[in-house]
Amino acid sequence: MRNSRRAAAFAVAAWLKTKDFPSHYLPDGPDRPFVQDLVYTTIRRLRPLRKVLGELVKKWPKGEMEALLYIGAAQVLYMDSVPDFAAVNETVEAAKACPGASVAKVVNGVLRNLLRRREELEAMVAASPADVRESFPSALCRRWVARYGAENAEKLMKFMNGSAKTYLARRDGSFSELGRGEKVEEVRGYAEGEFIVQDPATRHAVELVDPKPGEKILDACAAPGGKTIQMAWRGAEVVACEVNPKRRRRLEENIARAVVSDPHPVVVGAIPESGSFDKVLVDAPCSNTGVFGRRPDARWGWSEEKTKTLAALQSGILDSAARLVKSGGTLVYSTCSLEPEENGGQVAAFLARHPEFSAVAARESLPFETGEDGAFATSLVRA
């Protein structure tokens, strides 16, 4: 029988080395939910785990030993559903598969020492600054404290350290939470395209587009297709664009399942160089700071420099999309970011460059207020 801790250690070690999506390294099979929970908990809590382990090892380990110590400590400190004996014993068993007997010996000694000093080490973490305690980049934490205040910034980080809920968006516009242990593919109506997986915060962009039957709408950054599908459900004629081939395949698969009974099939292709659309949605690539709860790995790739680069990309996409909006038409810009240079600042700069547009409405979801993902959307009308 495969040791699930071994699978988790492999995924964490691979992520530490490549910084690729950790989901790429998760196994298929019945133990996948536990392995995913363990891997994501480890990545989510990386800073306090590193601080604790730093008190327990003389020389920082690398490779599989580092990953094994991370997942062992994550189970002990952050996964109440896992008994301590199982966390230690199963992680040590996983370590025995590593070359050389020393790995299992070290893992066993460190984790048992963690159990003995648990109260002391948990108190150390609790007394640490919020960025360490809640496990976020220090620069990002400072930005949030400056913007929202220390209390709300901590609420925001705690929200993103909770278990991310899965929601189903249905054809009638309602949202329902997927039950614990339920599989999306086994929910009634899946094959018939009666719902898609989508957080309720995404409704803001779709509602600002306000798609009507027969309207010609361009979704400029469409994958994985949730907003495209919601607009098609309302009878709009949607052209969905995605430049990334891998993401485009996923977009096409989702559309094929969820738009099976609509009279106007969605057209998937590249962004047109010319044309005229009633409405254009730019759900722009962004820093994802509003969805770090779902993408715990993304927080470790965040930087202010990267945010500036993304803002420049968003600016170029908006300028290209603006040319495709007909007179009297609507351009909706949205992100899953919380950062002002990607949201309000981006819109202000766009309006300064394009006086033919005017802002009509804006919506924002702040997780510490809404209990939903972070999101921003604004609608701009062309004269």
Active site residues: 336
For residues 293 and 162, the answer to whether their CB atoms sit within 8 Å is: yes
Alpha carbon 32 to chain centroid, angstroms = 19
Of the CA atoms within 13 Å of residue 276, those in its CB half-sphere come to 5
DSSP 187: S
Residues ≥6 apart with Cβ < 8 Å to 190: 184, 257
Of 54, 207, 176, nearest to 117 (Cα)?
Answer: 54
Prior bond of 48 cis (ω within 30°): no
Half-sphere exposure of 248 (CA within 13 A, CB side): 13
Cα 223 to Cα 216: distance, rounded to the nearest angstrom: 18
Query: Which residue type is seen at 70?
Result: Y
Q: 282 near 318, Cβ under 8 Å?
A: yes
Strands (E) in the chain, as ranges, are: 167-170, 175-177, 195-197, 216-219, 237-241, 267-269, 277-283, 325-335, 357-365, 375-382
| Cβ pair 338, 366 in contact under 8 A | yes
Helical H segments across 149-244, by residue range: 150-160, 203-209, 226-233
Cα-flanking dihedrals φ and ψ of residue 268, to 5°? -110, 130
Residues 6 or more apart whose CB falls under 8 angstroms from that of 379 comprise 208, 209, 330, 331, 332, 359, 360, 361, 362
